[in-house]
Chains A and B, each alone.
Chain A
């Protein structure tokens, strides 16, 4: 069974600085998808960025980028120029390529605080 581990329960960053959130996963599959979701205090689950395992190029969405290391089974999220609105829980998630189950396996989350 696949597992997702986020080893940093809490992180803090100064506004305008850069922060990296860690995520590792365990799988025997060669094809899969990885996601980062943001959950602000409003409780909404918001997709931040996604990565296909077959793509070597790291995904980027504006100030958000990932460092995907397939061999190391690592999928970290970098937030550049941090803003107060980035304060939230961040969840790393894994999704199998195929099979009958197309659902997400989540890590336990990292709570990010942004200091003004």
Chain B
């Protein structure tokens, strides 16, 4: 049981490049989310999904796209990377709502030069 798997763990991009951060979970969870963590800011929600084919924006969605074609996968796309997107990115999943805890991946450290 792998839980939530994020790839890659580290990535360096140049401004203007595009890339996709991968997230996969094997727990059959309905909810999946992407957060970014910046120093002194805690974690902020980028996009989330309540099930396959359904996504919505969080607090800081600009510059990011998501899709959810399967229950297991929830990739995050940076269309044209900017230095302001330098951050640590976390994917999380949970079973429905309520007090079910979110299970987090190990994070991706992304640097945009």
Contact = CB atoms under 8 A, between A and B. Distances in A.
Interface of A: 4, 9, 33, 35, 42-45, 47, 50, 52, 91, 95, 97-98, 100-109
Interface string B68-106: 000000000000000000001010101011110110101
A100 B24 CA distance: 22
A109 B42 contact: yes
B25 interface: no
Contacts, number: 59
Given A33-B98, A103-B58, A108-B40, A44 B104 contact: yes
Given A33-B99, A43-B107, A106 B94 contact: no
A102 B94 contact: yes
Interface centre among A42, A52, A102, A103 (most CB of B within 10 A): A103
A103 B47 CA distance: 10
A91 B43 contact: yes
Contacts of B92: 45, 104
6 contacts: A43-B88, A47-B102, A97-B98, A102-B97, A106-B44, A108-B40
Interface residues of B, number: 26
Nearest to A109: B42
A98 B96 CA distance: 10
B42 A108 contact: yes
A50 B42 contact: no
A33 B99 CA distance: 6
Contacts of A102: 31, 50, 94, 96-98
A91 B90 CA distance: 14
A83 to B, nearest CB: 22
Contacts of B107: 43-44
Contacts of B101: 35, 47, 50
Contacts of A103: 31, 33, 45, 48, 58, 102
